[in-house]
Amino acid sequence: MKLLKLFTLFSILNIGCVFSQEIIIKNAKIINVEKGIVEGSRNIYIENGLIKKITYTNNKLNNNAKVIDANGNYIMPGFIESHVHVAIGAVKLKFENKKPFLAVDLIDEIPDLTLKLMLSNGITSARDPGGLTEVTVRTKNNVESGKLLGPELFVAGNILDTLKFENLTTQIKTHKDIIDEINNQKKKGVDFIKLYTSLSPEQLEVGINHARKIGLKSISHLHTTSWTEAAKLKLDNIVHIIPGNERLLPKDKRKEYLKYANLGAIAFYKWFEYVDLESKEISEMIKALKDNNVSVDPTLVPFHSAFFGDTGNYQSQESLKYLPKPLLENWKTTFNFNLGWKAKDYEIAHKVWPKVEQLVRMLHKNGIMLTAGTDANNPYMVPGFSYHQELQLLKKCGLSNQEVLKIAIINGAKLLGIENKVGKVKKGYQADLIILKENPLEDITNTSSVYKVIVNGKSYEKEDILNELKRN
């Protein structure tokens, strides 16, 4: 027993020593995202997971510190992924009393796998905007306790909707149902509440107001309620660049669009086919978003993968090898956003994609805060790898490299309410940092040149994390 106690004490002391050991990153060129410049070569001192000081490279180093030589490569704050799903699996069609509904068959390995794939790609903070509450909260807590390795995680729980989606939504009927479910999720430890596509403006208002009353921010994927209506109700954040509501279209196009509105992903491109982005409806929508400080998480990459699914580019990604076979098989046979599309569907989708880019550009130029999210673990969205694809698509919307990096890091931190502790290489900030071989201010594709990640005061090699996943 005495031996056991001594071993336990040694373990605790040893863990404490490892965490408190000073880390020095030397010879690093700091990328200042706010200013869009590279700040020469510096040494960065990290202690207890925080940036203690930053000096010029000619300063004498502490012999007791762990030294990481950046070899003149680039260092910047870690990326922030604003839309990843850790509670996910194969999506299937089921029946109850002869009525169809969708269901998620959860895959146990997804949370751990997702976290490591994100971290290996330089993501040090992330938001899960909706999934089975028990899984999202447990995953968040396991990261906080150190049981799981990954980015700091902020989560929503079960998504509130009038429709049944097993292991994803809580089906609500009354205003009391909305309030009770929000209270329940608050007790379990969520950070956000997500409100879904079929909710009416009245139901959405109840959810937004009660979430705010108990200190939670609201997220919504909208369809029945328009972006304009939701903004005026003071929704905090809209996800997905597909507004999808007929009241945002010219009046003479609404009836025609409604023929397709409930045909799944076909409605995605049909809405853009009919919309007039210079119309009064869109102008009023953007004004409402700005006046009410509503942010938008475009998630361009899942829609791009659907609109250009005929190219085969997303289906042939090398990074798919990291994902479970049952998930990949599900995407091939049962669940993807362009299932059943014909050549004509892709032809129209290709044609309207520039209007998707135009809408993103309009939102950005009008001061709407955009973030970088991918809808990871939905069809062909490989966690971490899809993030770099998202940044490249934002760039193609006409944004500068610096503007894209601001969206990825600074806006992401604001979305999560952590802008005073992450998002800068600065004294007193968390040492959530990444080292890259190439400069993304020069070429946005260089974000994928991450080779080392520092999080919670510890450093990890990208290839080491990925090699471990390969063995699994």
How confident is the model at residue 382, as a pLDDT?
A: 98
Strand order in the sheet with 192-195: 169-171, 159-161, 192-195, 217-220, 237-239, 295-297
What string of H, E and C letters represents the secondary structure of 202-227? HHHHHHHHHHHHCCCEEEECCCCCCH
Domain residue extents for the chain: 21-78+420-459, 80-416
Under CATH, what is the fold of the domain 80-416? TIM Barrel (3.20.20)
Query: For residue 59, what pLDDT band results from cuts at 50, 70 and 90?
Result: confident
Query: For residue 263, what pLDDT band results from cuts at 50, 70 and 90?
Result: confident
Query: For residue 467, what pLDDT band results from cuts at 50, 70 and 90?
Result: very high
How confident is the model at residue 61, as a pLDDT?
A: 77
How confident is the model at residue 2, as a pLDDT?
A: 37
- To the nearest whole percent, how much of the chain has pLDDT over 70? 95
How confident is the model at residue 62, as a pLDDT?
A: 72
Helix (H, G, I), strand (E, B) or coil at 376: strand
Distance of alpha carbon 408 from alpha carbon 322, whole angstroms: 24
Which residues, 6+ apart, have CB-to-CB distance to 195 below 8 Å? Answer: 159, 160, 161, 203, 204, 207, 208, 218, 219, 220, 235
Helix (H, G, I), strand (E, B) or coil at 58: coil
Question: What does the pLDDT look like over 68-105, one tens digit per residue?
Answer: 999 999 999 999 999 999 999 999 999 999 999 999 99
**21-78+420-459 sits in which CATH class?**
mainly beta
pLDDT higher than threshold 90 for residue 276: yes
Kindly state the tokens that stand for 17: 């020593």
Question: What does the pLDDT look like over 405-442, one tens digit per residue?
Answer: 999 999 999 999 999 999 999 999 999 999 999 999 99
Of residues 319, 410, 328, 380, the one with CA closest to residue 116: 319
Angle ∠(167,137,378) on CA atoms, nearest 5: 50
Helices (H), 86-195: 110-120, 133-145, 175-188
HSE-CB at 190 with a 13 A cutoff on CA atoms is 29
How confident is the model at residue 471, as a pLDDT?
A: 58
How confident is the model at residue 17, as a pLDDT?
A: 37
- Average pLDDT over every residue of 117-124: 98
Q: Which residues are registered as beta bridge partners of 123? A: 79
Place of tokens 């300063």: 59
pLDDT higher than threshold 70 for residue 4: no
What is the pLDDT of the chain when averaged over all its residues?
93
pLDDT higher than threshold 90 for residue 245: yes
pLDDT higher than threshold 80 for residue 131: yes
Question: What does the pLDDT look like over 353-404, one tens digit per residue?
Answer: 999 999 999 999 999 999 999 999 999 999 999 999 999 999 999 999 999 9
- To the nearest whole percent, how much of the chain has pLDDT over 90? 90
- Average pLDDT over every residue of 219-240: 98
Query: For residue 20, what pLDDT band results from cuts at 50, 70 and 90?
Result: low
pLDDT higher than threshold 80 for residue 6: no
Amino acid identity for residue 372 in this structure:
A
42 Rama sector, left if φ>0, alpha if ψ -120 to 50, beta otherwise: beta
Query: Do the Cβ atoms of 267 and 248 come closer than 8 Å?
Result: no
Query: For residue 14, what pLDDT band results from cuts at 50, 70 and 90?
Result: very low
